[in-house]
A and B are shown apart, each in its own frame.
Chain A
Amino acid sequence: MSPQEIADILKTQFGDALTAVVAEGSHPHVTIAAERWHEAAVFLRDDPRLQMNMLRCVSGLDLHPEPWIEVVYDLISMQPGGQQGLWVNQSTIAVRVRVPRDGGHVASVADVWPAADWHEREAADLFGVIFDGHPDPRRILLPDDWIGHPLRKDYVFPTEYDGIPCAVTAES
């Protein structure tokens, strides 16, 4: 199923919540409003036409200087039934959810795809996006007392951590 068809299905289902569709290029994706994302996730997984059964990746993306951060969910639908018992790649799509830079909230989809658990923690850790309803909302890669979210473009490197001076070179 091509990305355009998926986008059409989503459009009929969610209407205006689907704010943008890029069906061509090396990374076809749709953008969906944050409020309806959880609902859309369940739909993407359970709809018999889509069956997005694996969440491959969740990435944060800072759109600095625009005041947005996007969360990119890469989904794939794998089904059995190919030659020699191989599974077949039915369709692939990325979904983007755009939230404000400060205090952006997205519904966690860890209950839809458990794979989202750690990925969302990572995005929350490095971008500061808040995932509502996450089962285990701790920092994952950085220490618990780390200040700031390093993958944001406006992140200022700390000069010390826990009394340990950090060597910071001049910003390029």
Chain B
Amino acid sequence: MLTIGLTHYLVLAAVLFCCGLYVMTTKRNAVGILIGAELVLNAACLNLVAFSRYRTGRLDGQIAALFVIVLAAAEAAIAIAIFVNYYRLLSTIDADEGRQLRG
């Protein structure tokens, strides 16, 4: 317990991941869902860096995490753009209201 190893980080990442998952499934506010997604991505990043630090001994994990951060930013930008459009169309930000694509 007193020496910090890989498992500690992985468990923490699991907690983060589950929180993110919960947020994504329950929140009806579209921006909330985006926040959940960010949490999940952060959990993944944490895992990557931890593996890089404690297992591979190379920079690959850090660089993958870097890419994830960049992708997350891109995703947020697009998502916000979509939400703004969504809001213009439906006058609400409730993700459950978007039923038009439903078969």
Answer yes or no: A and B touching, Cβ < 8 Å: no
Task: Spell out B's residues near A (CB within 8 Å).
Answer: none
Task: Spell out A's residues near B (CB within 8 Å).
Answer: none
